[in-house]
Structure 1
Amino acid sequence: MCRIYGSFGGPTPGPEVLERVADAMRPGGPDAQSLRRGDGWSLGTNRLAIQGVDHGEQPFERGALSCVFNGEIYNHRRLRAELSAQGYAFEGDCDGDVLLPLYELYGEAFVSRLEGMYAIAVADRRGEPSLRLFTDHAGMKSLYYYISADGQRLCFASELRALSRFPDFPAELDPLAVDRYLGGKAVWGPATAHTRVRTLEPGSVLRFTGGTPSVSHTTLAPAEPDWPEGHPTVAAAGAMLDALLGEEMDRMLDADVPVCVITSGGLDSSYTTALAARRVPDVASFNIAYRGDWPADERHFAAEVARHCGSRHHQVLLDPADFPGLVERFVRHLDQPNNAPHSLSTFALFEAVHEAGFKVALTGDGADELFAGYGRFVKADRDGSASWHRAYQSTMAAVPTAGLERLYTADYLAHVRAAGGYFADRSGDALAARVRRAEQSKLETLLRYDQSERFPYYILRRVDHLSMAHSVEARIPFLQPSVMRLAHALPASVKVAGDTVKAPVAEAARRWVPASVVNRPKQPFTLPVAAMIKPGEALYDMVGDSLLARGARCRDYIRQDTVRDLFRLLTESPGAYPAETLWSLLVLETWLSAHHAGPRTP
């Protein structure tokens, strides 16, 4: 696991520039730093040594090929054996050793043979020199890039704040990114908060020789199981999922450093914990909760799972009085605004994992998006009204469009309307058009839309950046190709069986997880902001001090009288809407203050 960066084309940046880029993301790779520069190219890494610790120095090189890689290739031993049979020699046990031999043999198609998570850069100087960038199908590892103003050089990095250390970084903030954030809870790719900076989408291949890069997308074909009854059933799907996840868990527990598991108390992480505990009887589990009595506290479910599975359980407790300092820290590491309240908890949890001596943590992310675990999927699928798509998109917004009418300043509202209207409305309309064109069921189209448009940027960027901020690698069993291909092969009637959402996951987990966890209603892992942003709590004071300050940057976009009205509403009639809106604005203001000091919006 590493953080990677580099450039291709034009004058090669000097070592001092590249050192600044590397230093900006050193927490993601504290074990070793390496750099290679040539005529018109540079590749560098910060290494977090997980596999093949004594070897695996990057960049990997074979003649006129050089490669840097962030991630893990879980099938590297099988690939190594295949390559050895073809005459390739290897030293050590680093998973990245197989990348350039595979690229030599299969060209760009080599990624179809990889099982894992990755962002890969290959500088190919054979014939016409070119750069290739690759990302896995789920989009687990981030990669940002921009083209120089003259079109001759491409610069890339795993984190935006590292990319910004290149001298010609186009720092101009896209003012519409604020509307995209509030309409999607995060800045959805491939665009970013910076006008000329982009992120590589899941399952993408970028080619650059100079000028405009070309980007194509690789596909992950659905599985074609031989179902026992000739057609898929919940029971058969659950059994197959359990077998696949067992195989994936065997590979994910294979590391040269300590591995633990995150246990929120929900179904997916509890199932992940149970699978890990069957293979490592004393596996360590981690749960986070808050001092005091708060709504949506799941620690007792996590403790029950730990007892049931026999894990060494670590209960992490946060003091709400410390939240203001945590907000500033986690927002700085996120690179772009993300309104998920549990980003604070996630950041603190990975910090505790690191302090306990672990470099790898398994998580249960992805099951809801693949197997229809959210009620909003089912509600939208069954909604036959003409405006179902707008209603659905509003569930993914930090602030519904009706609220934005009152929230935005007159100038910013005019700017948004001139650009085509609210992001949430435009996205909802695009989703409706996608459903009309799709050959798949409406539910499956909703799932694929979520997997490509929202999930990588709202969930996975958070997992990647906040874990690596503490030198921890997050491994995600549900997002491996075998599991994704199975999910894509299942019809809607199997994923949602009657009123049971995510039915194959519940079926698979039933043998290993307490019934109290399997059968209880879904409860999102979150921070209870409605209870924590109220008079007397530290977050309440921080929100007011930040948003109503004379120099607040969000004043360019947000009406101060509306912010005061939200505070008044929160005090007089506490509820989710004012609290969550104020939280979203706090994240925006903190991000603007930390990441941007350039020209203000038109």
Structure 2
Amino acid sequence: MCRVYGSFGGDLADPGVLGAVAAAMYPGGPDEQTLRGGGGWALGTNRLAIQGVDSGHQPFVRGPLCCVFNGEIYNHRQLRAELAARRYTFDGDCDGDVLLPLYELYGDAFTSRLEGMFAIALVDERAEPALKLFTDHAGMKSLYYYLSPDGRGLRFASELRALSRFPDFPDELDPLAVDRYLGGKAVWGPGTVHTRVRTLEPGSALRFADGRAVVTRTPLEPAEFDWPDGGPTVGAAAELLDELLRTEMGRMVDADVPVCVITSGGLDSSYTTALAAHLVPDVASFNIAYRGDWPADERHHAAEAARHCGTAHHQVLLDPAGFPELVERFVRHLDQPNNAPHSLSTFALFEAVHQAGFKVALTGDGADELFAGYARFVKADRDDAATWHRTYQGTMAAADTAALDRLYTPGYLAHLKAAGGYFGDRSGDELDRRVRSGERGKLETLLRYDQDERFPYYILRRVDHLSMAHSVEARIPFLQPSVMRLAHALPAHVKVAGDTVKAPVAEAARRWVPRSIVERPKQPFTLPVTAMIRPGEALYDMIGDLLLGPGARCRDYVRQDTVRDVFRTQTESPAAHAAELLWSLLILETWLSARSLTPAPLTEGPAR
């Protein structure tokens, strides 16, 4: 696991600049910093040593080939054996050792052989010198990039704030990003908050040579399964899922450093905990909760799962009085605004994992997006109204379009109208178009849309950036290719069986976790912001000071009188919609302040 960066073509950045880029990502790779350059290129890495600790030094080099790598390849032992049969030799046991030999054999298709998570940067000087960037199909690892002003060079890095250390970084903010953030709870890719900076999408490859960048995206290869007569059933799918997950977990607990598991108390994390405990005696589990009596407290469910599995359980308790300082800290590590309230919890939880001496943590992310675990999927699938897609997109927004009509300044509304309208409306219309195309059933189209467009940027960026902020690698069993292929092969009636969502996961987990956890109503892992944004609470005061103060940086986008009305509503009668909007604006304002950014005014009229 590492953080990677580099430059190819144009004026090569001097060592001081490259050092500043590396320094900005130091927590993600504190064990070793290395840099290698050639004729007009440089590749660098900050290493978090997980596998082959004593030998896995980067960059990897084979003659005219050089690469750096962020991630983990879980099938590296199998690949190593295959390569050894072809007379390749290796020193040590680092998973990254297999990358360049595979590239020699298979070219750009070598990534189809990899099972794991990865963002790879490779320079090939055998013919026309070229830089190539690759990402895994789930999008677990990020790569941000931009072209130099003259178009002759490309710069890239694992983190946006590190990329901004290059002198020619195009720091112009995209005004539409504010609406994209509020309309999607995060800035969905491949665009970013900066007009000329992009992120490489999941399952993509970028080739840059002679001033020309070409991006290709390859879908995950389909798989066929030997189902019983009549096709797949929930029971058969559950049996196969359990077999696949046990295999993946066996590879994920294989590390040269201590491994722990995150246990929220929900179905997916409890199942993951049980599988880890089956493989690692006395495995450590971690749960986070808040001092005091708060809604949606899952600590007792997590403790029940830990007792059942026999883990060494760590209960982390946060004091809400310290949340303002914690907000300012975690937002600095978010490359882009992300409204997930549990970002605060995630950041603090991985900090506790690091302090306890662990470098690897297993999580249960991804099961809901693959196997239809959210009620919004089912509701939208069964909604036959003509405007179902607009309603569905509203569930993924911090505020619906009616609320945004009242929130945005007249100047910003005019700007959005000229640019094509609200992000939420345009995204909902695109989803409707995909459903009407008939390529897949409605439920599967909803799931694939989420996996491609929302999940990598809303969930996975948060998990990656906030874990690596504390030098912890998050491993995600449900997002391995074998499990994703299974999910893609299952029909809708198996994923949602009657009123049971995520049916194969629930059935597979029954043999491993208490019945009370399998059958209890779904409860998202989140921060109870509705209860925490009220008079007398620290977050309430922070929001009032930042959003209603004269120095608010987002006032050219949002009307101060509307924000004041929402704040008053939340004061008098706390409600989820008002609280989520206030939280979202708090994150936006804190993000802008952390980077000392002030968006350019969009209108000459007075700000309200």
* Shorter-chain TM-score range: over 0.9
Match of 1:379 in 2: 379
2:439 maps to 439
SS in 2 for 1:556: coil
The answer on whether the counterparts of 1:305 and 1:514 sit within 8 Å (CA) in structure 2 is yes
Q: CA deviation at 1:45?
A: 0.2
Partner of 1:3: 3
Task: Give the deviation of 1:571 after TM superposition.
Answer: 1.6
Q: What residue in structure 2 maps to residue 256 of structure 1?
A: 256
Q: Give the residue type in structure 2 aligned to 1:48.
A: L
CA-CA distance at 1:221 after TM superposition:
2.4
Amino acid corresponding to residue 214 of structure 1 in structure 2: V
2:555 counterpart SS class = helix
Q: What does 1:560-599 align with in structure 2 at a 5 Å threshold?
A: 560-597=560-597
Q: Which runs of 4+ in 1 moved over 2 A?
A: 595-599
Aligned match of 1:117 = 117
Secondary structure, aligned partner of 2:554:
helix
Could you tell me how far 1:37 is from its partner in structure 2? 1.3
Could you say which residue in structure 2 is the equivalent of 1:64? 64
Which letter maps to 1:343? S
2:600 equivalent in structure 1: 600
Partner residue in 2 for 1:140: 140
Q: What does residue range 452-601 of structure 1 map to in structure 2 within 5 Å?
A: 452-597=452-597, 600-601=600-601
Mapped pair 1:174 → 2:171: no
> Match for residue 105 of structure 1?
105
Q: Is the 8 A contact 1:175 1:601 kept in 2?
A: no
1:91 maps onto 2:100 in alignment? no
What's the counterpart of residue 606 of structure 2?
A: none
Structure 1 residue 417, shift from structure 2 partner: 1.0
Equivalence map 1:183-262=2 (5 Å): 183-262=183-262
Q: Deviation at 1:595? A: 2.2
- Secondary structure of residue in 1 paired with 2:69: strand
Equivalent AA in structure 2 for residue 593 of structure 1: S
Q: What is the rounded CA distance, in whole Å, between the counterparts of 1:407 and 1:592 in structure 2?
A: 18
- The offset of 1:594, in angstroms, is 1.2
| Alignment partners' CA distance in 1, 2:384 and 2:14 | 59
SS in structure 2 at match of 1:232: coil
- AA aligned opposite 2:373: G
Confirm or deny that 1:154 pairs with 2:154. Answer: yes
**Residue 359 (structure 2) pairs with residue 330 (structure 1):** no
Q: Identical aligned pairs, as a percentage?
A: 80
Query: Retained in 2: the 8 A contact 1:12–1:39?
Result: no
What CA distance in whole angstroms lies between the structure 2 residues aligned with 1:212 and 1:442? 38
Question: 2:39 — aligned with what?
Answer: 39
C-alpha deviation, 1:160, in angstroms: 0.2
Residue deviations 1:197-229 (CA, integer Å, cap 9, x gap): 000000000000033411111121232110133
Q: What SS is found at the alignment partner of 2:42?
A: strand
Give 3-state SS (helix, strand or coil) of 1:278's partner. helix
The SS at the match of 1:213 is: strand
Q: How many residues align?
A: 602
Offset of residue 598 of structure 1: 5.4
- 8 Å CA contact retained: 2:187, 2:457: yes
2:273 alignment counterpart: 273
CA contact (8 A) 1:262 1:287 kept: yes
Residues 549-586 of structure 1 show CA distances to partners (whole Å, capped at 9, x for unaligned) of 11110111111101110111112221111111100000
Q: Which amino acid aligns with 1:137?
A: H
| Code of the aligned partner of 1:105 | L
Q: Which runs of 5+ in 2 are unaligned?
A: 603-608
Q: 1:70 to 1:404 in 2, by over 3 A?
A: same
CA distance in 1, matches of 2:259, 2:454: 29
Supply the AA of the counterpart residue of 2:410. Answer: A
Write the letter of the residue equivalent to 1:231. Answer: G
**Residue pair 2:554, 2:598 contacting (<8 A) in 1 also:** no
Query: What is residue 284 of structure 1 aligned with on the other side?
Result: 284
Query: Shift of the alpha carbon at 1:281?
Result: 2.0
Matching of residue 75 in structure 1 with residue 41 in structure 2: no
Structure 1 residue 128 and structure 2 residue 110: aligned? no
What's the CA shift string for 1:17-38, capped at 9, x where partnerless? 1000000000000000000011
Alpha-carbon distance in 2 for matches of 1:234, 1:357: 40
What residue ranges of structure 1 are gaps of 5+ in the alignment?
Answer: none
Paired with 2:253 and 2:500, the residues of 1 have a C-alpha distance of 31
CA-based RMSD of the aligned residues comes to: 0.8
- Counterparts in 2 of 1:197 and 1:601: CA distance versus 1, 3 Å: farther
Report the CA distance between 1:597 and its aligned residue. Answer: 2.6
**Structure 2: distance between partners of 1:39 and 1:599:** 38
User: Secondary structure at 1:553's aligned position in 2?
Assistant: coil
Question: 1:230: how far off?
Answer: 4.5
Deviations 1:497-516 (A, max 9, x none): 00000000001000001001
Q: CA deviation at 1:39?
A: 1.3
Kept after mapping to 2: 8 A contact 1:144/1:199: yes
**How far apart are the structure 2 equivalents of 1:191 and 1:313?**
40
- Does the 8 Å CA contact 2:138/2:203 hold for their aligned counterparts? yes
SS state at 1:336 partner? coil
Please give the alpha-carbon distance, in whole angstroms, between the structure 1 residues aligned to 2:213 and 2:99: 22
Whole-angstrom CA distance in 2 between matches of 1:213 and 1:510: 49
Distance across 2 between alignment mates of 1:586 and 1:15: 37
Cα distance in 2 between the residues matched to 1:594 and 1:175:
18
CA–CA distance in structure 2, aligned partners of residues 210 and 180 of structure 1:
33
Give the 3-state SS of the residue equivalent to 1:286 in structure 2: strand
Are residue 430 (structure 1) and residue 430 (structure 2) matched? yes
Task: Kindly provide the CA deviation profile for residues 456-496 of structure 1, in whole angstroms up to 9, marking residues without a partner as x.
Answer: 00000000000000000000000000000000000000000
Q: Are 1:260 and 1:283, in contact at CA under 8 Å, matched by a contact in 2?
A: yes
Task: Classify the secondary structure of the residue corresponding to 1:98.
Answer: helix
